Structure 1
Amino acid sequence: MNEVYLDYNASAPLDPRVAEAMMPVLAHCVGNASSAHRFGRRQAALVGTARQQVAALVDASSSGVVFCAGATEANNLALIGLAEEASPERNRIVISAVEHASVAESARWLHVQGRAKLDVVGVTRGGYLDLDELESYLGTDVAVVSVMAANSETGVLNPIADVADLAHGVGALFHCDATQMVGRLPLSMTELDVDLLAFSSHKICGLAGVGALVGTRHALGRLQPVIHGGGHERGLRSGSLNVAGIAGFGAAASLALQESAQESVRVEAFRNRLVEGLRAGLVGVYENGDAARRLPNTANLRFAGVDAEALVSNIDPVAVSTGSACSSGTVEPSRVLLAMGLSQDEAFESVRFSLGRFTTAGEVELAIAQTVEAVERIRDLTGGIG
């Protein structure tokens, strides 16, 4: 039986064209991109091209691209780097209740260390930020507002243009983790007035371990480095650059810019077919989050009476994921779904399907059949709804 990968929000498969772009660098290029000799200059030229490609994907200046090891590092650099220069009069961080752990934990760490005050804004039942609540937290002591563009578990989109307006209205910077949205829907830093934007290569069919923090000149000028050393990447991210990975990131960004509009339409049709097929074959299937404002590739579904972990284990060779996180051997319900108002039991019944570039119609049909069969089997065994 063919394997079916429907976990693109965790990591997308490497596009063969990206691998092809990386191979000459891996096979023939040598030298440090910071070196002044011809080998270093060749490496630096490859990085420069990738910088332009990554910037173009989000409508930014190439001089504002700071390459990192991924969005997690980029988010840490944004929040901790800003806290390093924050004044006592402006040291409050405001985040949403459904941020990625790299934002949520960085902000909490700063708060616990006494280096920043922290407010956490709730979300609606639909999963998007409550703008009225956000506005109630904003004042002249806010240094940065950090709200993701799209949630990784539900695919729900946040009103980031409105968030930017509110943040700038009190003189705060706006940082956005756009890891899930970049390459799936158009995103212009210029039009949305985003100060700092983080995303990763492996979510757009590039290599894992490479990402970027893209910022305006003003915002980057406010940052202090989190990693110290030789002063690479405008002095903000020391360490010799992963030239092959960065070249691949650039190629992935270029492909996403060229193809994402058409790809999103195709993937959205597959996502809709998946949801329709599951609802037609089963009772007790519910979508988590506002279906009218979400990524085209994502469906977070609750199967009433079915433990999500059991379902994930029983639909092999179809790969999907739950919103649960394992910590110290204990499985916890998704904090994203809890923040949206679901009960613990409902959160434990929820599964994320995320499709992408290489998903086929046949794979969608197989996923529907495998899921329906597994849900019915689990309900029979547990006495769940029929």
Structure 2
Amino acid sequence: MINRDFLYFDYQATTPVAEQVLLKMHPYFRESFANPHSSDHALGWKSSAAIDNATKQIARLIGADSDEIIFTSGATESNNLALLGLARRAMLKGSRRKRILLSAIEHKSVLSVGRVLEYQYGFKVERIAVDKHGHILLSDLEQQLDDDVLIVSIMAVNNEIGSMQNIAGLSKAIKACGAVFHCDAAQGPIAMSMQEFAQNVDLLSLSGHKMYGPKGIGALYIHRNLQDEIEPLIYGGGQQNGLRSGTLPTPLCVGMGAAAEYMCSDNMGSMRDELHMRRDRFIGMLSALPWPSKLYGPEADKRHPGNISIGFLGFSAQDILGAVQPHLAASTGSACTSGIPEPSHVLKAIGLTGEEADSAIRFSLGFETTDSDLEGAVKQISTALSRLFVIGL
């Protein structure tokens, strides 16, 4: 149940757990609570079967097989396992591929791993530039690709400006040079159908709480032909083919599986279309306010259907968001970088000036967002801008 006393426009930071997801999780907290790795009794078998079913649901979401799904604590861990795991094993095997390509607008968990691989392991890590809309130009990527590239990491949908990449087109170029293609797709399930992604990428990261599932659970798709090329980050009892040891949290796994099933529901396409239309309506309402504004990022049909990155020129985003508390939730960018007092690397990568980046607010809508919510949010923002303008006089 969404609290209607508070206007929530931060769905790209986290979604609520869908009601049907919560109901499917509930029995595994108290009734079917057995350790899924307890293989000597029926209760353990039941928990194990529930996790097996969840892997099938997640596999269906991206067009993979269930034995290619590895549960993690979230997309951050998935990104670490994908990049560190592949690079460390490549070093152990003496691979001559020493270059790693990361898009300039990747999540911090990817860029941070890139720095570790560069400074601690000696890899040459390069950024892939994007255009002003946050899209990678295939011709530019092709110039960087060569037979010394180990892995290329490009996110499916950006978490700040909503840019949706042409993953199928990029995949052809990456695979042609023999590199491994990793995709952080945490923002993908709500934005698009992902049922052919496993055909285009080798490694893919997902997060439960970005797709109406619980926090604390994620998954990494690892193509079965690549599983022997990944060095684990966590060692122990050898669970999950030895790729990620530890007792799996059955309720969370069930919840992520149920969320994946929800994302595959027959009406999801129409739900995305409605989200897109409501997002565009909100853009129009914000643009109609008597304050100069500017939309940042890609065109509407090439961005996450719930994403808006907009700046009210001459105003600080932090000042605006502070003025609408405790009534409206939005973000100055990624929640994962909100503690860093500097312009977003994503906004800098698309060429925004310091003033523009300082003005940028990310509003992200969800399936529960109503027209009444839009009206309330616009009223709150208009009031805040009027107050801040008077203060600034």
1:352 corresponds to: 362
Residues 145 and 174 of structure 1 are in contact (CA less than 8 Å); yes or no, is this contact kept in structure 2?
yes
CA offsets per residue over residues 195-225 of structure 1, 9 Å max, x none?
A: 1110101011110000100121112232111
- CA-CA distance at 1:60 after TM superposition: 1.1
| Structure 2 residue 182 is matched with structure 1 residue 169 | no
More deviation, 84-93/169-178: 84-93
Cα 1:130/1:232, change in 2 over 3 Å? same
Offset of residue 14 of structure 1? 1.2
Q: Pairwise mapping of residues 276-287 of structure 1 onto structure 2 (< 5 A)?
A: 276-287=284-295
CA distance in 1, matches of 2:119, 2:392: 43
- What is residue 20 of structure 2 aligned with on the other side? 17
Q: Which blocks of at least 5 consecutive residues in structure 2 are unaligned? A: none
SS of residue in 1 equivalent to 2:214: coil
**Could you list the per-position Cα deviations for residues 233-265 of structure 1 after superposition, in whole angstroms to 9, with x for gaps in the alignment?**
111111100100010111111111104212111
Whole-angstrom distance in 1 between the partners of 2:336 and 2:248: 32
1:187 maps onto 2:194 in alignment: yes
Judge conservation of contact 2:24–2:255 (CA < 8 Å) in 1.
yes
Residue 199, structure 1, aligned to residue 206, structure 2: yes
RMSD (Å) for aligned C-alpha atoms: 1.7
Q: In structure 2, what is the equivalent of residue 156 of structure 1? A: 163
CA contact (8 A) 2:129 2:349 kept: yes
CA contact (8 A) 1:185 1:260 kept: no
Checking the alignment, whether the CA contact within 8 Å between 1:337 and 1:347 is kept in structure 2 is yes
* Equivalent position SS for 1:332: coil
Q: 2:271 aligns with which of 233, 239, 263?
A: 263
Q: Distance in 2 between matches of 1:241 and 1:324?
A: 28
Q: Which 10-residue stretch deviates more, 349-358 or 274-283?
A: 274-283
Q: 1:289 aligns with which of 269, 283, 297?
A: 297
Query: Identity rate of aligned residues, in percent?
Result: 37
1:69 alignment counterpart: 73
Q: How many angstroms apart in 1 are the aligned matches of 2:285 and 2:176?
A: 46
TM-score (norm 2): 0.94
Report the counterpart of residue 234 of structure 1 in structure 2.
241
Q: Which of the residues 315, 319, 338 maps onto 1:310?
A: 319
Is 1:101 the counterpart of 2:141? The answer is no
Q: 1:194: how far off? A: 1.0
Q: Letter of the aligned partner of 2:320 in structure 1?
A: L
SS at match of 1:265: helix
Letter in 1 for 2:257: G
Decide whether aligned partners of structure 1 residues 191 and 326 sit closer, same or farther in structure 2, where only a CA change above 3 A counts.
closer
Opposite residue 63 of structure 2, the aligned amino acid is D
Match of 2:83 among 75, 79, 83: 79
One-letter identity of the residue aligned with 2:313: A
Within the candidate set 357, 363, 371, 2:381 is matched to: 371
Distance 2:313 2:363 in 1: 16
How far off its partner does 1:325 sit?
7.2
How many pairs align?
383
Question: What residue number does 1:254 align with?
Answer: 261
Letter in 1 for 2:66: S
What's the offset of the Cα at 1:371? 1.2
Report the TM-score, using the length of structure 1 for normalisation. 0.95
Give 1:53 shift: 0.7
